[in-house]
Amino acid sequence: VKKITEIFKNHFVKKKSFIPKGLCSVIITAVVAYLSLSSNPLDITSFQFTFPGIDKVVHFLMYFALVMAYLYDYCKFKLPHHTSLNIELMLTASAAVLGLMMEIGQLVFTNCREFDIFDCLANAVGALCGFLLMRFWGIHLLRHYFLASKHSHRSHHHHAE
């Protein structure tokens, strides 16, 4: 039974490694671009729990998630080495600039959406909060999780031989 469990774990871990690095960031960036440039992507007006400013909350959450994805992928890419604060800040600033570009894109490419400086502010604050959470908590947890799983995978593999 131990041997079968070992083979299954090794097979499962190898399967996971086929996911290309950075895919999480690419997917969330594409979703944010779609939500930013389509006419009424979430049909927010039909939500039961709508309230004034709900769009700002959505903007905040999109860019919060975007920076979390960027820093998650960066952390995985850098392992086993530590991440660089400069690159983390650059990724965070890139997300905020993307938010500004999406707002300009709404002005230029759509008839139904318009530029809103407060959307830009919500985007930037969401990106900053995503950075702060990852910098002071998330990256440490990810390093611990990924390095522990790599170490345990190596030790299991070593014992199997």
pLDDT tens sequence across 86-141: 999 999 999 999 999 999 999 998 888 889 999 999 999 999 999 999 999 888 88
42-47 long-range contacts, Cβ below 8 Å, gap at least 24? none
What's the confidence (pLDDT) of residue 31? 94
Each residue of 86-98: b (16+ CB within 10 Å) or e?
Answer: eebeebbeebbeb
Cα radius of gyration (the chain): 20
Helix ranges restricted to H, the chain: 2-16, 23-37, 54-78, 85-109, 117-133, 139-160
Q: Is 32 helix (H, G, I), strand (E, B) or coil?
A: helix
pLDDT at 5 over 70: no
Residue 126: per-residue pLDDT: 98
Q: Which residue has the tokens 């600033």?
A: 93
pLDDT of the residue at 110: 86
Q: Are 96 and 122 in contact (CB under 8 A)?
A: no
